[in-house]
Structure 1
Amino acid sequence: MLILGMDGLLIRRASASDVPAVLQVFDEVVAWFVGMGNTHQWGTEPWSASPRRVAQVAEACALPGAWVVEEPAGRIRGALVLGDPMPYVPSATEPEVYVRLLIAARDPRVRGLGRRMMAFADDQARAAGVTRLRVDCYGGGTGDLVRFYESCGYERISTFDLAGWPGQLLGRCL
């Protein structure tokens, strides 16, 4: 376990037992999105109610590059999954760390958690001797998510369409 900041948040490897808690974070974020009118990014239904989404999170938490962030009391506040590129993006042209999943609670008490997890991804890349990272995200709506990754040092590489879902591929060199 590693401490992720002064607030006592810990980052540790994810496991199958974390799936319900990670789904709860997704459910909270989906409800927040719906409340602000963003119904296209992840839909309107809780992920925990979708067998497909439950399977996706279970698969993600089983990967060797899966991490969760928890409060000292044990509540999961975010998840980060690093690994191979997603099948719908172009293959890497050099060794890389690919951010497959990033989710952070919208609770103001953990504000900045997404940025801290992205910095952790940078640290993992450095530890692996890799200088390239890529991530893909929802490219629609207001563009706030793309701008978030740009604020973390990523640059736009290409756009894609996944069955009507607009995506943005971004990359970064350390």
Structure 2
Amino acid sequence: MTDQQSITIRPAGPDDAGTVLRLLDSATAWLAARGRTGQWGTEPASTDPRRIAQADDWASGGGLHLAMCADRPVGALVVGSASGTVPPAAEPELYVRLLVTDREYAGMGIGARLLGHAADLARSRGLGLLRVDCYGGDDRALVRFYEGCGFTATEAFTVARPGRDPWPGQLLIRRLG
């Protein structure tokens, strides 16, 4: 039986881009099987050149961290600067660019643990603000997840996608003491 104490977090690097794609593919399939295609669609990230390049950038950019259960990656966190789809922060911040976990390990608090790691990284850099954006559509379950991890929803936004429905996003903040 795996418990939360057996999960460790390690910095990742260029060799871990494939791991990020595997986690994204698994999460996308899980969401699609439940009819929740608005967040990441239905196609695997590992077949999308844009997502492959994004995973390569994350893995080589210094902000990728993996949650590990023994030798198995069970979650990924990418921190850095905010994307251009959200308003800039009025103060220095650390931005959560990606959070994804292996659904086989659901209920173990891996996402919350990775977000706690992001908060620790921000504090260690002298930053008092952690921000994240997420899919804000459907029943807003993802927004509630982040709120349960200490974030406060602020601005909703929409990302235009040519040939597809707009993507509803939600910006959230967490003040760090």
Q: What is the TM-score with the length of structure 2 in the denominator?
A: 0.90
Contact 1:24 1:48 in 2 (8 A): yes
The one-character-per-residue Cα deviations of 1:109-144 (angstroms, maximum 9, x if unpaired) are: 662100100111111111111111110000001100
Please give the residue correspondences for 1:18-167 in structure 2 after superposition, counting only pairs within 5 Å.
18-72=16-70, 74-108=71-105, 111-163=108-160, 164-167=166-169
Gaps of 5+ in 2: 161-165
Could you say what the CA RMSD is over the residues aligned between the two structures, in angstroms?
Answer: 1.5
> Do the aligned residues in 2 keep the contact of 1:154 with 1:171 (CA within 8 Å)?
yes
State the number of aligned residues.
169
Structure 2 partner of 1:173: 175
Q: Percent same amino acid at aligned positions?
A: 45
Question: Match of 1:111, as an amino acid?
Answer: M
Displacement of 1:97: 1.0
Unaligned runs of 5+ in 1: none
The one-letter code of the counterpart of 2:59 is C
CA deviation after TM superposition for structure 1 residue 10, in Å: 2.3
The separation in 2 between residues aligned to 1:45 and 1:31, in whole angstroms, is 8
TM superposition outliers: structure 1 runs of 4+ over 6 Å:
none
TM-score, normalised with respect to structure 1: 0.92
* CA apart distance, 1:75: 1.8
Partner of 1:115, secondary structure, is helix
Q: Distance in 1 between matches of 2:13 and 2:112?
A: 22
